[in-house]
C-alpha cells in the first residue's frame, strides 16, 4: 500500500488549514486501502468535479479525471458508468455547486439509483467567490450577499437525498479524517447511488470548526439501524446540540445502469466502436 503514489506535481493553493485537506487525505487513504483489501484498480477510478474550491482536488490526485460545469457533476459520471460499467465514477462538488445550480441533477441521479458516488464539500458558503451564502447557509449568517444576515432557511440535503431515493446516505466531518476515510470506502463499495455530505467549515468565511468538533458524534456507534428509513430521516433533523455523522441509510436496489444496459457493455459494442473509430480519424 505504501508504494501507491497518488500525488501530482501541482502546488496546493487551498488556504492553510482548509478542510479540503482533510477530504483529500481521507480520499487518498481510502483508495489505497481499497486497492489492498478489495483489489480495485486505480486505472478504473474516474473522478469529476464542478466549479469551486473543492474542484482543486482534481489537481492533487493522480487519477483519470473530468472537469465538469458548475453543478453538473452527476451527468458525466452517469455517462461514464453507462459506457463502461467496470469504471468507478466518483464526483466531488461544493454545497453551492451541488445544492444550488446542480440540485436537479443530484435529485435525478438519486432517484434513478445511478451507480455513482458523490462527495459534497459542504462549507455553507460560495468560498471561491469570496463567501456568498448558499442553500445550506444557516439563518443569520452575514455574507457579501446577506450583509444583515441570511434570511433564508437552509435546506436539509440528507433528508432531500433520502426522499429522492438515494440508496446510500452519509455525513462526514473534515476534522475526523479516519472516520471520513471509512465512509468513503463504504460509499465506493456500495452498488448504487452514494452520497457523503462532508461538514467542512471555511476558515475564512464561515469559521465554525470548533462548533462542529464539540457536537459531532458517530451515530453508527449509538445503535442506529442503517436499514430503517424513518429513523434515518429523523436523524437528519438532529442538529445544534448534537450533530450525527456516519452512515444514515443504506439499502439495495437495481441500479440505473443495470436496468438500461441489461448486461451490455457499450465500449465493447462493435457498432459504437466503429463510429468512435471514424470520429477519431477525423
**Residue 274, pLDDT score:** 47
pTM of the model: 0.91
The 3-state DSSP class for residue 89 equals strand
* DSSP3 helix / strand / coil % (the chain, rounded to 5): 40, 20, 40
CA-based end-to-end distance of the chain: 42
Domains and CATH numbers, the chain: 20-281 (3.40.50.970)
| Side-chain-facing half-sphere of 111: CA atoms under 13 Å | 9
What is the residue-level pLDDT of the chain in tens, covering all 282 positions?
A: 457 889 999 999 998 888 899 999 999 999 999 999 999 999 999 999 988 888 899 999 999 888 887 778 999 999 999 999 999 999 999 988 899 888 999 999 999 999 999 999 998 777 777 777 778 878 877 888 888 888 889 899 999 999 999 999 999 999 999 999 999 999 999 999 999 999 998 888 877 878 889 999 999 999 999 999 999 999 999 998 999 999 999 999 999 999 998 877 877 765 555 444 444 454
Q: Where are the beta strands (DSSP E) in 17-112?
A: 45-49, 64-67, 88-94
| CB contact at 8 A, 169 and 162 | yes
Residue with cell 480519424: 281
d(CA 139, CA 136): 9
Amino acid at each position: 500500500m505504501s508504494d501507491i503514489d497518488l500525488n501530482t506535481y501541482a502546488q496546493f493553493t487551498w488556504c492553510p488549514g482548509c478542510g479540503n485537506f482533510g477530504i483529500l487525505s481521507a480520499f487518498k487513504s481510502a483508495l489505497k486501502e481499497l486497492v489492498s483489501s478489495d483489489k480495485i484498480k486505480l486505472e478504473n477510478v474516474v473522478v469529476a468535479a464542478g466549479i469551486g474550491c473543492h474542484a482543486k482536488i482534481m489537481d492533487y490526485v493522480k487519477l483519470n479525471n473530468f472537469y465538469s460545469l458548475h453543478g453538473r457533476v452527476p451527468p458525466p459520471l452517469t455517462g461514464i458508468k453507462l459506457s463502461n460499467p467496470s469504471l468507478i465514477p466518483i464526483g466531488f462538488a461544493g454545497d453551492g455547486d451541488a445544492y444550488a445550480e446542480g440540485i436537479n441533477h443530484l435529485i435525478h441521479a438519486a432517484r434513478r439509483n445511478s451507480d455513482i458516488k458523490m462527495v459534497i464539500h459542504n462549507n455553507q458558503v460560495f468560498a471561491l467567490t469570496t463567501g456568498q451564502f448558499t442553500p445550506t447557509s444557516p439563518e443569520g449568517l452575514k455574507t457579501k450577499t446577506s450583509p444583515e444576515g441570511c434570511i433564508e432557511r437552509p435546506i436539509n440535503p440528507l433528508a432531500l437525498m433520502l426522499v429522492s431515493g438515494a440508496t446510500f446516505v452519509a455525513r462526514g466531518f473534515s476534522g475526523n479524517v479516519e472516520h471520513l476515510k471509512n465512509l468513503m470506502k463504504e460509499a465506493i463499495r456500495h452498488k448504487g447511488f452514494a452520497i457523503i455530505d462532508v461538514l467542512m467549515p471555511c476558515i475564512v468565511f464561515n469559521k465554525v470548526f470548533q462548533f462542529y468538533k464539540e457536537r459531532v458524534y458517530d451515530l453508527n456507534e449509538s445503535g442506529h439501524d442503517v436499514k430503517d428509513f424513518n429513523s434515518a430521516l429523523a436523524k437528519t433533523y438532529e442538529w445544534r446540540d448534537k450533530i450525527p455523522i456516519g452512515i444514515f441509510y443504506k439499502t439495495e436496489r437495481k441500479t440505473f445502469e443495470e436496468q438500461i444496459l441489461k448486461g451490455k457493455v457499450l465500449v465493447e459494442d462493435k457498432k459504437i466502436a466503429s463510429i468512435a473509430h471514424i470520429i477519431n480519424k477525423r
